[in-house]
Amino acid sequence: MKRLKNRPLFACLIILAAAMMIFSGVQTSRAALTISSDNYFAQLATDEKMHVDLLENETSVCTSKDAGKDGEEPRVGLLQNLLPEGDENIHPGENYKEVLCVQNTGEMDEYIRVVLYKYWQDEDGKKLMALNPDYIVLELNGEEENPEGAEEKSLKEALKENGWLLDEEAGTKERMVLYYAKPLKADEISAPFADTIRIDKKIVNEVLHEETKKDGVELINCTLTYEGKQFSLEAEVDGVQTHNAELAIKSAWGADVMVIDDAGTLELGKTGNVDDPDNAGADDGTQEQEPLP
Amino acid sequence: MKMKWRINRLMAVLACLALVLILISEVKGSLAYFTTYTTVGGSQKIGKLSGDTEVEEKVDGNKKTVTVKNTGEIPCYVRVRAYAGELFTLVYSGENWSENEKKDGWYYYVLPLEPNEVSAALTIEINWDSSIVADDFEVIVVEEFVPASYNEDGSTYGDWDAVITTKEVPYDKWEEVAGQ
Architecture of domain B53-158: Sandwich (2.60)
The pLDDT score that the predictor gives to residue A109 is: 93
Which of B37, B49, B164 is the closest to A227 by Cβ? B49
For chain B, give percent helix, strand, coil, nearest 5.
20, 40, 40
The answer to whether the CB of B91 falls within 8 A of the CB of B64 is: no
Residues of B in contact with A208 (CB under 8 A): 166-167, 170-171
The pLDDT score that the predictor gives to residue A275 is: 47
How many angstroms separate the CA of residue A126 from the nearest CA in chain B?
Answer: 11
Q: Which of A152, A170, A60 is closest to A113 using CA atoms?
A: A170
Crossing angle of helices A8-37 and B2-30, in 10° steps, is 40
The pLDDT score that the predictor gives to residue A71 is: 57
pLDDT single digits (tens) B51-69: 899 999 999 988 999 999 9
Across residues B12-40, what is the average pLDDT?
76
Which of B31, B42, B175 is the closest to A79 by Cβ? B42
Across residues B158-172, what is the average pLDDT?
74
pLDDT single digits (tens) B28-42: 445 678 889 899 999
The pLDDT score that the predictor gives to residue B101 is: 87
Residues of B in contact with A10 (CB under 8 A): 11, 14-15
Q: What are B90's strand-pairing partners?
A: B126
Q: Which of A226, A264, A227 is closest to A246 using CA atoms?
A: A264
How many angstroms separate the CA of residue B140 from the nearest CA in chain A?
Answer: 28
Q: What is the 3-state secondary structure (H, E, C) of chain A?
A: CHHHHHCHHHHHHHHHHHHHHHHHHHHHHHHHHHHHHCCCCCCEEECCCCCEEEEECCEEEEEHHHCCCCCCCCEECCCCCCCCCCCCCCCCCCEEEEEEEEEECCCCCEEEEEEEEEEEECCCCCECCCCCHHHEEEECCCCCCCCCCCCCCCHHHHHHHCCEEECCCCCCCCEEEEEECCCECCCCECCCCEEEEEECHHHHHEEEEEEEEECCEEEEEEEECCCCCEEEEEEEEEEEECCCHHHHHHHHHCCCEEECCCCCCEEECCCCCCCCHHHCCCCCCCCCCCCCC
Edge to edge, the sheet with strand B107-109 lists B97-99, B107-109, B76-83, B140-150, B156-158
* Residue B120 in this model has a pLDDT that exceeds 90: yes
pLDDT single digits (tens) B69-103: 999 999 999 999 999 888 889 999 999 999 988 88
The answer to whether the CB of B39 falls within 8 A of the CB of A74 is: yes
Residues of A in contact with B45 (CB under 8 A): 90, 123, 228-230
Q: Chain centroid to CA A151: how far?
A: 30
Across residues B105-131, what is the average pLDDT?
92
Inter-chain CB proximity B49 and A95 less than 8 Å: no
- In this structure, which amino acid lies at residue B80? V
Which of A63, A78, A247 is the closest to B38 by Cβ? A63
Digit-by-digit pLDDT tens for chain A (293 residues) are 556 667 888 888 888 888 877 766 655 555 444 444 445 556 666 667 889 999 999 999 988 887 555 556 667 889 998 888 888 889 999 999 999 999 999 999 999 999 999 999 998 889 988 899 999 999 988 766 555 656 667 888 899 999 999 999 899 999 999 999 999 999 999 999 999 999 999 999 888 877 777 788 888 878 888 999 999 999 999 999 998 889 899 888 988 999 998 899 999 987 655 444 444 444 443 344 444 44
The pLDDT score that the predictor gives to residue B129 is: 83
Q: Which of A152, A210, A277 is closest to B168 using CA atoms?
A: A210
Which of A77, A203, A248 is the closest to B33 by Cβ? A248
Inter-chain CB proximity B18 and A47 less than 8 Å: no
Residues of B in contact with A237 (CB under 8 A): 37-39
The pLDDT score that the predictor gives to residue A35 is: 45
Residues of A in contact with B154 (CB under 8 A): 91, 94-95
Chain B 153-172, CB below 8 Å of chain A: which residues?
153-154, 159, 162-168, 170-172
Residues of A in contact with B34 (CB under 8 A): 44-47, 50, 108, 240-241, 248
Substitution target in B46, B153, B161, B175 with the highest count of A β-carbons within 10 Å is B46
The pLDDT score that the predictor gives to residue A277 is: 46
* Residue B26 in this model has a pLDDT that exceeds 60: no
Inter-chain CB proximity A230 and B43 less than 8 Å: yes
Inter-chain CB proximity A93 and B151 less than 8 Å: yes
CA distance B13 to B19: 10
- In this structure, which amino acid lies at residue A277? P
Chain B 18-77, CB below 8 Å of chain A: which residues?
18, 21-22, 24-25, 28-29, 31-50, 74
Q: Which of A210, A216, A113, A125 is closest to A165 using CA atoms?
A: A113
Average pLDDT, chain B: 84
The pLDDT score that the predictor gives to residue B169 is: 58
Helices and strands (DSSP H and E) totals, chain B = 2, 11
CA distance B159 to B85: 29
